Each structure stands twice: as structure tokens, then as C-alpha cells.
Structure 1
Amino acid sequence: MSPYRYVTQCRTQTAQRLLRNQHLAISEGAYQVGISKITSILKSNFSISFT
């Protein structure tokens, strides 16, 4: 696993915990963990489409 992929995975896992426990909006959880392109992360990691 590349360092970029590892960091992204850690950030998405932390964001998931925040969203579950603090009932934040997706954009707020992403911001708190340092993810700026949340839609591309969700598409690549979770196969979620925003169309």
C-alpha cells in the first residue's frame, strides 16, 4: 500500500467514526480530518456515486 493510500484510508476511517458518533454532515467530517475532495474519495473507496 502506498503512503498516500494509507493516509487516505486512515482519514476516511476517522471521518466515519466522527460521522457516526457526532452526527456531522459529510463535509464537516471530511474537513475535520483534512479531506478536501470528499466526492472523489467516496467514489474510489466506497463506490458511491453523486449523479
Structure 2
Amino acid sequence: MDNKRLDHKLDCKACGTIQMDIPDGAEEHTLIHCSKCGGYFGEWGALQDDFYA
């Protein structure tokens, strides 16, 4: 079992949730926001890189 953790890399800096509003057809440079408070998470490509790292 792999015990790697995200260590809060994908948490919203404004409200702490991980609820992302990801539009259909999101591409590398699509801006992703929190679906709870609207806070900015980052670009879709960078967020995917953090998740898979």
C-alpha cells in the first residue's frame, strides 16, 4: 500500500475544503476555483501534477 499523502496541497486556501469546480473539457491552463467559496485553486494542469506526484 502506498502511504503518500497530499499534505493539504489541494485544499482551498480560503476555506479549507477540497471541493473543486472543474468545468467539462478542462485543459492544462483552465483556471480552477473552489465550488464552496469561489477561491482560486490554480491551473488544472498544475493541480493534476500535484495529485499524481
TM bucket by the smaller chain?
0.3 to 0.5
More relative contact order, 1 or 2 (CA 8 Å, 6+ apart): 2
Write 1 or 2 for the structure with the bigger share of helix.
1
Structure index of larger Rg: 2
Write 1 or 2 for the structure with the bigger share of strand.
2
Q: TM-score, normalised by structure 2?
A: 0.34
